[in-house]
Structure 1
């Protein structure tokens, strides 16, 4: 994984995501490029990092340069640079990731409710559902500097199992433990048998690649809520999910669940689009 791309808008949340990306990059020995997308290339204004009094510069370029000089010191082996794009935020991020052939995007998200959730869905979720590579979203307030436990939820849909290879490889690079858990909302025997088979196969794949794993099974009426509850209880650092573009009725339901996870999980979400794993 040669490069991690980090969208930065100079808010606390985006700078927190940059710190999290540095922690990951130090483990997997990759470079970091952060991207700032400006809506209007003809207008500039002074910037300060949210929560700090220090003014790092009078232009976006000066500001980004100062951030690179400050944060690059935290990287053990990789390099850090930045790029500035203009236009729609989600398009700029996706186009840059495609141009760089980024291995991973890490981005901060804000807490949402009501209309804000619709707004987040039209921006951040467009990135995680259309990006050419996996995306880790870091919710506001998450301050851990390690990713030692990764939750790999399993259901009976074929596409959702496409997250297993990348999650396993990331866990290996991070030296993380993977919790392979099948989640269900029913006690139907046929579903339980099928889920057990799929989860056991996932467990065998993970451990077969030299990654430590834990196997479990959980039932709950609301699957996203049950997944988050398990993650909080088990002190999970990262939850792996599959995201889908809205289109077919089946994908619409799946994308809604994924969007709920991205919007509301207090724990970082690793989103993998099936098309990026082919």
Structure 2
């Protein structure tokens, strides 16, 4: 059985991420594990924990036990295990190590931590986890309730790596019974580049339709692929945007260049980042 890992620092974003991870665990039939990383043995009171603001709690373990008590009724995986781990050390390194040694299929985490919104995503532990994790990472913003996945946006650009996310998107769409929007994005009028993107889009459509997944295709030109994709996601009210963590360094580089970091930082829509 797969396992989903949720880093929890008791911030609003991390609790939102936990709720979203419970939904994904139910759909994927996955074990669910929370992890908290302490920088030292000393216990520091969480920055934000509205759910248990009236509770008297003295340890991280007690916080986790209360979280499991609160959220277990919503975790409905038959023979699934909903548990937690506490680690000490560098936050992003310990999260990555827990995912690796715990054989996690997916990490779901808040885009911001307990330090609040004054810390840009580009410098946060979340960005480091996305950058170095060997499994996909879903980053969730603390804006609105991300309660289901019915519409997934999968942008396709001209890089060879862009297609590597297709199997992950297919599995998620199949289990969530979601439709997938394949959006070809380009910044050029070069016919060979556009033709390459259209070819990749057709391959993606064929792969998805083999799994009986509803597909909608579109292609758009814009000044910046990232902005084009994000604008389209808002138009269709997407529940998730699937991107590659790394792309080839070309003029058609789409995600995790400087513009992509801004998109992940600003997007109110959860971002599904697949490692290259």
Query: What is the match of residue 110 of structure 2?
Result: 108
The 3-state SS of whatever aligns with 1:55 is: coil
Among 230, 233, 236, the alignment partner of 1:231 is 233
SS at match of 1:221: coil
Cα distance in structure 2, aligned partners of 1:113 and 1:49 = 9
Structure with the higher helix share, 1 or 2: 1
1:254 to partner: Cα distance: 4.7
TM-score (norm. length: structure 1): 0.89
- 1:65 paired residue number: 65
**Alignment check: 8 A CA contact 1:47 1:58 kept:** no
Identify if the C-alpha distance between structure 1 residues 113 and 200 changes in structure 2 by more than 3 Å, giving closer, same or farther.
farther
What does the per-residue CA deviation read over 1:186-212, in whole Å, with 9 as the maximum and x for residues that have no partner? 222222212111111111111122211
The TM-score, its normalising length taken from structure 2, stands at 0.90
1:60-209 residue pairs with structure 2 within 5 A?
A: 60-77=60-77, 78-110=80-112, 116-117=119-120, 120-209=122-211
Q: Distance in 2 between matches of 1:271 and 1:19?
A: 19
Aligned-partner Cα distance in 2 for 1:249–1:189: 20
Greater mean deviation of Cα atoms: 49-58 or 143-152:
49-58
Paired with 2:26 and 2:133, the residues of 1 have a C-alpha distance of 23
Matched with 1:26 is 26
Number of matched pairs: 270
Give yes or no for contact 2:112–2:124 (8 Å, CA) kept in 1.
no
| Aligned-partner SS, 2:220 | strand
What pairs up with 1:39-58 in 2 under 5 angstroms?
39-41=39-41, 43-47=42-46, 49-52=48-51, 53-58=53-58
Contact 1:6 / 1:35 at 8 angstroms: preserved in 2?
A: yes
**Kept in 2: contact 1:153–1:183 (CA 8 A):** yes
- Report the RMSD for the aligned CA atoms in angstroms: 2.5
Taking the aligned partners of 1:233 and 1:249, their CA distance within structure 2 comes to: 28
Equivalents in 1 of 2:265, 2:45: separation in Å? Answer: 30
Unaligned runs of 5+ in 2: none
Gaps spanning 5+ residues in structure 1: where? none
Report how far residue 249 of structure 1 moved.
Answer: 5.5
Q: How far apart, CA to CA, are the structure 2 residues paired with 1:193 and 1:47?
A: 52
Q: Distance in 2 between matches of 1:151 and 1:249?
A: 23
- Aligned partners of 1:94 and 1:127 also within 8 Å: yes
Deviations 1:31-84 (A, max 9, x none): 11010011112x114447533532251111111111112111211123310000
